[in-house]
Structure 1
Amino acid sequence: MKGREFLETVRKRIDKAADYLDFGSDSVNLLKTPRRTVVVSIPIRMDNGRIEAFTGYKVQHNMSRGPYKGGIRYHPDVTMDGMKALAALMTFKCAVADVPYGGGKGGVTCDPKKLSRNELERITRRYTSMIFEELGPNKDVPAPDVYTDDQTMAWLMDTYSQFKGYQVPEVATGKPIEVGGSEGRTESTGLGVAICTREAARHKNMNIEKLDVVIQGFGKVGKSVARELRKKGCNIIAVSDSKSGIYNPDGFDIDELIDYKVKNDQLTGFQGAEEITNEELLRMECDVLIPAAIENQINSKNADEIRAKIISEGANGPTTAEAYKILSEKGILVVPDILANSGGVIVSYQEWVQNRHREHWESNRIYKNLEERMVKSFNSVFETHEELEVDLPTAALIQAVDKVLTAHNLEGLFP
């Protein structure tokens, strides 16, 4: 989806949720525009000696419930409008998960696959220095996103700390454990998606141990949710990455598949698999479809062809507003992004708290807290879904908008 279309989709979702609440249009409109946007030029010296300038963005959407929180993305399609949309979704995701953050997002327009490790480090450190004034443990706390990882956050944290003159691990989350990262952070988003999938299956009286699952996107989230659902007894029959998809009606050995993907940087050629396109994967008959790639994958053009019983959104914004309506009319239960993939921000919050107290918690404590928060959020959204007779995406956003605007109105306007 182009950035402008993505932003308009998010704004439509806000309007739909607001129809069920008593806030005036002036208050609702505040959620359609971010509080602050920053565009920076990031000149770096490439490995060949040439200087190349990249464009970086930082969007801070809303801070009524706490510091801005959101990932930093490195991708050729990064745009300001796309960052605005994702920052808004982060505000709502934090509200649904009931963690004390607002929403933010950052990104650099580049192709990480064509950059060396040294070039990525230079981009990260220069970008961090350019947005330094916007960052801080009580102001804006970034995390990894598409094509960024724990190493990216280590570079960001170190750069920020060099400016401050002392180490500030709580300025970012998703870091390596050795420099203040949390147990469970790497797999937390996928684990949260798996928990929501289990809860959705329970509400539809489906046995989690016998579900056929299709996963679009086999990056950080796709891999972890595949592993977690396989542990629960699900049969992962199809997966895809940005290049192609593969299918096996008998299901995949997920550990072998992950190893193959890591070694070959592709899924094509995996033994015993039939190659399929991403479009064929989305239309495949299955119990659960997990879009864990990028935005706008399920839209008005293909929504009527979706044959899953449950959709659990691992990506941010994978479904358009028009597609949500079609899916609801087809009786497909959609667990929306701001609920399904909130596991990442829940464990990010725990990492932030650990850093502020200079503590390191055991994994059992992390997983227990994640399980409790995800189930509580799911049940709360499901109650709203039943009470107001709306789909889950609308129910989740009703709750989020209510929490954010209630906080905003209590704080009032300054000056």
Structure 2
Amino acid sequence: MLKMSARPDRAVGLITEYNPFHNGHLHHLQESRRVSGAEVAVAVMSGHFLQRGEPALVDKWVRTEMALRAGVDVVVELPFPWACSSAPDFAQGAVRALDALGRVDCLCFGSETGNLDALQACADLLCEHEQMVGAATEKLLRSGVSYPEARGRLLAAESGLQLSAAALAQPNNILGIEYLRALRLQQSTLKPFTVQRIGAGFHEVDVAEGEIASATGIRRGLAEGREIASYLPQPASGPLFEALALGRGVDAEHHTRLLLGRIFHGAAALRQVFLVADGIESRLLSAADKAADYEDLVSTVKARQFTRTRIQRMLAYILNDVHAEQVRTLMPAGPRYLHLLGASERGRVFLGACRRHLKLPLVSNFSRIYAILKRHYGENSENYRLALIQLDLELRTTRTFTLLMHRWNGGNRNRDFFETLKSP
């Protein structure tokens, strides 16, 4: 793909988790600037819980600092209900957040295929034949086929593209299609680009020295005590290693115990939680009586109609006691404010230029958030009520995350209120 001429105020959007920021992310960042001609890189990043339902390796501020040191200019949080959701909702929330800044010109995402036209054709098919695709997908799911495989089969059969079902079922291709679909459904002006992923695949856990490792592989390496520094950009690695040395990483045993405690509240409480449906609360309670750890719990609950990823997301909602009514009320409206986590000097200049174009309140810490939201929406408005739901969930997930750390510090539970804006 040819490089566009660079423009100092041109901004490219990146949709990320950075769990943690590694060499593959650096490649994506550099290539995104190259193909888009953008100087400013704006990342929408998941907070403390991720798309597949797992808690992040370290908190969102550490991951923000890593991204800024590696060259990202602005980091905005993707709120929990969208960050911990299926690919369509994850994409819808992230695109809404980028659009709300008002000055982001384009979106660049990584994909296994690197073929934007092919991914766009798939996105168009989903938009134009939603009912047909939905019914066919549901039929395959009932037969025991996983969601990615079902989606891949249908797109390969209906699109006429020279791409296999297996290729279209790859995780970043799936997300890329959903980003393009979200752009179309929201009539976004963001221009899409894609860069081909290099190095280890999303699920690969073992790589040779010097290769680009997956985030999954890096986390596995850390858990096993292996050397992982070579897989991280040198400027970005410092905040991660410092946080881990201070005990600010997630402790798997703490995670399991807190989760079991939530499940033991009983079937009636579980039925209120988002994604708990179809009698799965009975399987949860039975599994919780025997499970030795998180992996044991997930594998015991897993069944044909309950995929691993869905179970992990459901467990994240149980852990944070998030009720179905809250999510179903908030999701259709989209994020009601943006939480700014960090900015470089160039990012601060960009944000200054955004001020008149913002479509949502942009808040760097929550010390004045109630006053800001009241002033923006009006205290008695529906949007103010929705913003308070979003805020409640963000505060709750931060407080829960602090309980998962190896070393608990009570002062961290309210960091959203006092944490200063991160810079490189």
Higher helix residue share:
2
TM > 0.5? no
Structure number with greater CO (CA < 8 Å, separation at least 6) is 2
